[in-house]
């Protein structure tokens, strides 16, 4: 399904995916379909998504942080956000959403400050010319950890009373 950029907030519970360079989109689709959750795959370029009524492609205009802004504006309680972008995760967690990195690391109110500080430190080191080596390669263990983290987040939402709306 195609969806252009819209101001309509998603109904909770749902999943918002920062799709540019996201290595776990297929895993998100599997979990979303298993639990009956609407999923918005947000990108500024065309991305193939399954032809499922619960999976929506959101195509935002080109520009710095346009996809992030779309996601952050809709993040809140009952929403799970999938992103490797620490500043976006901070915005989403601050709004009450759950945020999970593709390696399965959950961003929480208790961990997001340290994640931001680490990101800023690494950025400063790179700008100063230090060779930091970059992130380690994405592994099958990361994929498995992500699946477990996403499933736990969805189950927490269900236990908290968030129920997926019936299919239309």
- Does residue 137 form part of some domain? no
- Does residue 139 form part of some domain? no
Cβ(83)–Cβ(101) below 8 Å: yes
Structural domain count of the chain: 1
- Does residue 56 form part of some domain? yes
| Cis omega (within 30 of 0) for bond into 13 | yes
| CATH number of the domain that residue 40 is part of | 3.40.50
Measured between alpha carbons, how far is 129 from 76 in angstroms, rounded to an integer?
38
- Does residue 31 form part of some domain? yes
Domain with 7, as residue range(s), is: 2-130+146-159
Looking at residue 19, what is its pLDDT? 94
Measured between alpha carbons, how far is 109 from 129 in angstroms, rounded to an integer?
31
- Does residue 75 form part of some domain? yes
Model's pTM, two decimal places?
0.84
Name the nearest CA neighbour of 78 among 109, 105, 115, 38: 38
Looking at residue 132, what is its pLDDT? 66
Ranges assigned E (strand) in 5-146: 14-18, 38-43, 55-59, 79-82, 98-100, 106-107
- Does residue 164 form part of some domain? no
- Does residue 104 form part of some domain? yes
Tell me the mean pLDDT per 10 residues along the chain, length 168: 51 89 95 95 95 95 94 95 94 95 91 68 70 77 96 93 68
- Does residue 125 form part of some domain? yes
């Amino acid at each position: 399904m195609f969806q252009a950029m819209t101001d309509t907030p998603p109904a909770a519970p749902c999943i918002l995916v920062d799709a540019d360079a996201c290595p776990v989109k297929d895993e998100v689709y599997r979990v979303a379909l298993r639990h009956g959750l609407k999923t918005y795959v947000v990108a500024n370029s065309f991305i193939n998504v399954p032809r499922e009524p619960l999976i929506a492609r959101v195509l935002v205009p080109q520009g710095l942080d346009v996809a992030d802004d779309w996601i952050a504006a809709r993040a809140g309680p009952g929403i799970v956000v999938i992103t490797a972008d620490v500043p976006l995760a901070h915005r989403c967690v601050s709004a009450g959403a759950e945020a999970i990195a593709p390696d399965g690391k959950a961003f929480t109110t208790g961990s997001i400050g340290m994640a931001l500080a680490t990101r800023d430190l690494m950025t400063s080191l790179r700008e100063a010319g230090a060779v930091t080596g970059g992130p380690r390669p994405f592994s099958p263990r990361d994929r498995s950890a992500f699946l477990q983290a996403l499933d736990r987040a969805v189950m927490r939402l269900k236990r908290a009373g968030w129920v997926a709306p019936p299919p239309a």
